[in-house]
């Protein structure tokens, strides 16, 4: 990475110079400690909030300044990286290094120069991890974990703020032991034009995941899948979990890769847990005779819309529904699996092997008399949202709701309480897609008929606020085209994927599937930072985000406008899925025919596309799907070096940009280029 790019991490809003004494204010903004004290500031130079104070210094950013400026005299004499044989490629390697790799390099040199002071350990916690109330990677039944992290230069400022919170220390040596310079070098040579493809066939026959069954009438099974990936630095593993569900069964797999350069040809995904829609479950076994029956740890909540529910009646009602319901949708996180389906049933299962609960055991079941259309679980695993469509008794009109489930825990990590909070949407249009932002403070949802998207602020759960709504596509079609749309509803699925971009970018990705041209879009919200750290700091100060006054809350929720910063017509208008790289340099799109497109650009957050040239290639092909709900799940690895895909046939694919060099490794092949 060039030094100018590292210097940008030390330039804070409100200052026109490089900061050498970085600190964080009570409002969550970054500042220079000496400037703030000497100039006797009382207002924040960035957000202009009044009566702010310095909470703490940010040691990682101060050490970064020291690494760049106090040691630059020795940079010309440093040797090339260990393990890279071609010394002539040193310049290319430096250009492709991220911040973590740079730390690795400096740490090695400090070990050689023992006579000089060494770099102190830096507290680096999990990617997007926040303090307890807004934690990104902690679950609602465990304390914030130090075992998993994903690192990219774009998110380092967030790490700096998070690291001042005293969770547990991660020694820098443990972190750097698992950083591979060879992989970074290979990535710089391969991305985005070359990749190595590895595929595995899972036990899909037990789930009847095939597209057609012999002797059937051609009707496919309703199938859903989900992927979650993270890095466990202490174990030196990159762990990827994926789940496959059919109408009556589900199976959870785990794929663990060592971070170091080792032979991974013999490593395969393993089945760690499976279960039935009736609630029976078992570890690494699909034999029905050995499945366990759920115990008494499950909490059952029935939504009667204001009427008091009887626990006994809820238990008997649950048994009745579980015997007839079909699974339809699923979401997977590090510690939990959430499945919803027909009969108004949503269930949460434990998949954490270190939990007091058994793996695969159902922990929470939500029952409602209305259909559940979609669901989402927040990155901090403290909130679960599901969209339901009810009918008003008087007018008999449909009214969409969002049931937001907030989970509280005891000190021994057992569930204390779960209370659904109903959020009313001011539109009659049903909700089809839900997604949280990285800090779990906002929820974005898409509607069915109007293809509208809505953003809801959740910082104050007692009073959620709608902060933005818009139509991504202009309605300029003729009357005949509209009639054709009505006749081709299977083809015109409307919005198929809607999600926030990387943390602190204020971007939104929208994909759709239309007969007529509706390209994939990338928007940028102009206004308040969606992933603002203001609420994070409030959780550790006397002012709490849930007790802030309404005026202050409104001022921190303003959205002025939305700007289209990129549209991608080259990949067509029948897109089902999208995934964003944590490095911020790529987006993968999946169309209904199963083609995977990789769109690469230097900066997806730029307001001007004049110098933001994008490259588009075809990564490969997976199973196709008629509906976006059956489409394959796509996810970048935590470090952005791989793309994981699992399709409805149970095929698990890995597109790796770090396993070789083009021309030297025969398995590293070139992608088909669409646009340069």
Choose the most confident range, by mean pLDDT, from 189-193, 213-217, 600-604.
189-193
> Confidence class of residue 305 from pLDDT cuts 50, 70 and 90?
low
632: which strand partners?
A: none
Report the number of distinct structural domains present in the chain. Answer: 3
Per the CB < 8 A criterion, the answer to whether 3 and 67 are in contact is: no
Same domain for 190 and 169:
no
**Does any domain span residue 453?**
yes
d(CA 112, CA 100): 19
Report the percentage of the chain scoring pLDDT > 70. Answer: 68
Q: What value does the mean pLDDT take over residues 550-561?
A: 62
Q: Give the model confidence (pLDDT) of 107-154 as tens digits.
A: 555 555 544 443 344 343 343 444 333 332 333 333 333 333 344 444
Choose the most confident range, by mean pLDDT, from 114-118, 341-345, 599-603.
341-345
pLDDT tops 80 at residue 47: no
CATH of the domain at 59: 3.30.40.10
Class of residue 618 by CB neighbours under 10 A (exposed 0-12, middle 13-18, buried 19+)? middle
> Confidence class of residue 161 from pLDDT cuts 50, 70 and 90?
very low
Q: Which residue has the higher pLDDT, 537 or 358?
A: 358
pTM: 0.73
Choice among 30-39, 286-295, 563-572 with the minimum mean pLDDT: 286-295
Q: What value does the mean pLDDT take over residues 88-100?
A: 43
Q: Which residue has the higher pLDDT, 556 or 298?
A: 298
pLDDT tops 70 at residue 431: yes
Same domain for 145 and 58:
yes
pLDDT tops 80 at residue 280: yes
Same domain for 31 and 170:
yes
> Confidence class of residue 293 from pLDDT cuts 50, 70 and 90?
confident
Q: What value does the mean pLDDT take over residues 547-558?
A: 50
Q: What is the pLDDT of residue 559?
A: 83
- The residue among 140, 161, 177 that closes a domain is 177
Q: Where are the alpha helices (DSSP H) in 46-146?
A: 59-65, 90-96, 99-112
Q: What is the pLDDT of residue 119?
A: 37
Same domain for 675 and 538:
no
pLDDT tops 90 at residue 600: yes
Tell which residue, 99, 13, 109, has the closest CA to residue 61: 99
Q: Give the model confidence (pLDDT) of 610-639 as tens digits.
A: 456 889 999 999 999 989 999 999 999 998
Same domain for 569 and 460:
yes
> Confidence class of residue 259 from pLDDT cuts 50, 70 and 90?
confident
Tell which residue, 596, 528, 587, has the closest CA to residue 557: 528
Same domain for 563 and 583:
no
139: which strand partners?
A: none
d(CA 347, CA 175): 36
- The residue among 573, 604, 633 that closes a domain is 573
Angle in degrees, CA 232, 581, 386, rounded to 5: 80
**Does any domain span residue 92?**
yes
Same domain for 549 and 593:
no
Choice among 118-122, 337-341, 368-372 with the minimum mean pLDDT: 118-122
**Does any domain span residue 603?**
yes
Same domain for 585 and 566:
no
Report residue 216: phi and psi, to 5°.
-85, 175
Q: What is the pLDDT of residue 509?
A: 96
Q: What value does the mean pLDDT take over residues 61-74?
A: 70
pLDDT tops 50 at residue 159: no
- Among left, alpha and beta (phi > 0; psi -120 to 50; other), residue 86 is beta
Per the CB < 8 A criterion, the answer to whether 255 and 226 are in contact is: no
**Does any domain span residue 387?**
no
Per the CB < 8 A criterion, the answer to whether 486 and 541 are in contact is: no
For the chain, give the number of residues: 676
Same domain for 563 and 451:
yes
Same domain for 63 and 48:
yes
Q: What is the pLDDT of residue 189?
A: 93
Q: Give the model confidence (pLDDT) of 224-233 as tens digits.
A: 999 999 988 7
- The residue segments making up the domain with residue 614 are 182-202+574-676
Q: What is the pLDDT of residue 28?
A: 79
Same domain for 609 and 567:
no
- The residue among 162, 177, 192 that closes a domain is 177
> Confidence class of residue 17 from pLDDT cuts 50, 70 and 90?
confident
Q: What is the pLDDT of residue 454?
A: 96
Per the CB < 8 A criterion, the answer to whether 207 and 201 are in contact is: no
- What average pLDDT is seen over the chain? 76
**Does any domain span residue 284?**
no
> Confidence class of residue 510 from pLDDT cuts 50, 70 and 90?
very high
**Does any domain span residue 433?**
yes
Q: What is the pLDDT of residue 611?
A: 56
Q: Which residue has the higher pLDDT, 532 or 185?
A: 185
d(CA 296, CA 351): 17
Same domain for 448 and 578:
no
**Does any domain span residue 335?**
no
d(CA 599, CA 621): 15
d(CA 243, CA 652): 11
Q: What is the pLDDT of residue 117?
A: 41
> Confidence class of residue 175 from pLDDT cuts 50, 70 and 90?
low
> How crowded is residue 607: how many other Cβ atoms within 10 Å of its Cβ?
10
Q: Which residue has the higher pLDDT, 610 or 352?
A: 352
Choose the most confident range, by mean pLDDT, from 296-300, 350-354, 483-487, 615-619.
615-619
**Does any domain span residue 246?**
no
Residue whose pair of structure tokens reads 């075992």 in the numeric block: 147
């Amino acid at each position: 990475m060039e030094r100018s790019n590292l210097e940008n991490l030390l330039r804070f809003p409100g200052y026109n110079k490089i900061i050498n004494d970085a600190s964080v204010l009570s409002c969550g903004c970054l500042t220079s400690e000496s400037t703030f004290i000497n100039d006797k500031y009382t207002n924040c130079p960035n957000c202009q909030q009044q009566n702010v104070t310095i909470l703490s210094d940010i040691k990682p950013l101060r050490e970064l300044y020291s690494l760049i400026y106090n040691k630059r005299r020795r940079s010309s004499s440093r040797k090339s990286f260990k393990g890279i044989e071609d010394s002539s490629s040193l310049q290319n390697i430096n250009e492709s290094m991220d911040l973590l790799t740079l730390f690795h390099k400096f740490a090695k040199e400090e070990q050689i120069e023992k006579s000089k002071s060494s770099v102190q350990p830096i507290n680096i916690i999990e990617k997007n991890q926040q303090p307890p109330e807004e934690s990104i990677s902690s679950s609602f039944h465990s304390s914030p974990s130090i075992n998993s992290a994903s690192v990219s230069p774009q998110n380092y400022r967030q790490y700096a703020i998070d690291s001042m919170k005293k969770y547990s220390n991660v020694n820098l040596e443990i972190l750097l032991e698992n950083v591979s310079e060879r992989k970074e070098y290979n990535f710089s040579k391969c991305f985005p034009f070359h990749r190595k493809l590895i595929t595995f066939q899972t036990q899909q026959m037990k789930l009847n995941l095939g597209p057609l069954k012999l002797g059937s009438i051609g009707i496919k099974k309703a199938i859903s899948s989900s992927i979650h990936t993270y890095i466990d630095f202490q174990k030196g593993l990159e762990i990827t979990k994926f789940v496959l569900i059919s109408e009556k069964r589900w199976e959870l797999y785990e794929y663990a890769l060592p971070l170091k350069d080792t032979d991974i040809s013999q490593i395969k995904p393993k089945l760690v847990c499976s279960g039935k829609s009736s609630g029976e479950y078992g570890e690494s076994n699909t034999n029905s005779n050995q499945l366990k029956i759920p115990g008494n740890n499950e909490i059952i909540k029935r939504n009667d819309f204001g009427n008091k529910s009887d626990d006994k009646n809820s238990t008997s009602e649950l048994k009745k529904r579980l015997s007839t319901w079909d699974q339809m949708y699923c979401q997977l996180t590090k510690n939990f699996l959430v499945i919803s389906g027909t009969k108004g049933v949503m269930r949460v299962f434990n998949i954490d092997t270190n939990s007091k609960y058994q793996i695969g055991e159902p922990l929470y079941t939500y029952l409602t008399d209305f259909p559940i259309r979609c669901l989402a679980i927040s990155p901090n695993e403290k909130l679960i949202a599901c969209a339901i469509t009810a009918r008003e008794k008087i007018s008999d009109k449909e009214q969409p709701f969002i049931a937001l489930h907030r989970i509280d825990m005891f000190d021994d990590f057992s569930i204390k309480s779960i209370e659904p909070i109903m959020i009313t949407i001011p539109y009659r249009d049903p909700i089809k897609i839900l997604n949280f932002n990285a800090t779990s403070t906002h929820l974005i949802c898409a509607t069915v008929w109007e293809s509208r998207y809505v953003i809801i602020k959740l910082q104050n759960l007692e009073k959620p606020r709608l902060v933005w709504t818009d139509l991504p596509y202009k309605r300029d079609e003729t009357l005949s085209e509209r009639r054709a749309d009505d006749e081709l509803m299977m083809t015109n699925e409307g919005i198929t994927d809607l999600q926030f971009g990387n943390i602190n970018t204020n971007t939104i990705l929208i994909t759709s599937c239309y007969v007529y041209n509706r390209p994939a879009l990338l928007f940028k919200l102009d206004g308040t930072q969606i992933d603002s750290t203001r609420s994070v700091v409030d959780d550790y100060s006397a002012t709490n985000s849930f007790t802030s006054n309404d005026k202050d809350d409104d001022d921190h929720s303003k959205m002025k406008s939305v700007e289209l910063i990129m549209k991608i017509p080259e990949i067509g208008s029948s897109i089902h899925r999208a995934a964003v790289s944590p490095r911020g340099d790529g987006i993968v799109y999946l169309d209904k025919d199963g083609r995977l497109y990789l769109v690469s650009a230097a900066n997806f957050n730029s307001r001007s596309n004049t110098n933001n040239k994008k490259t588009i290639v075809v990564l490969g092909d997976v199973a196709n799907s008629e509906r976006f709900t059956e489409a394959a799940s796509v996810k970048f690895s935590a470090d952005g070096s791989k793309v994981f895909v699992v399709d409805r046939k149970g095929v698990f694919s890995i597109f790796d940009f770090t396993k070789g060099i083009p021309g030297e490794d025969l398995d590293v092949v070139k992608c088909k280029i669409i646009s340069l």
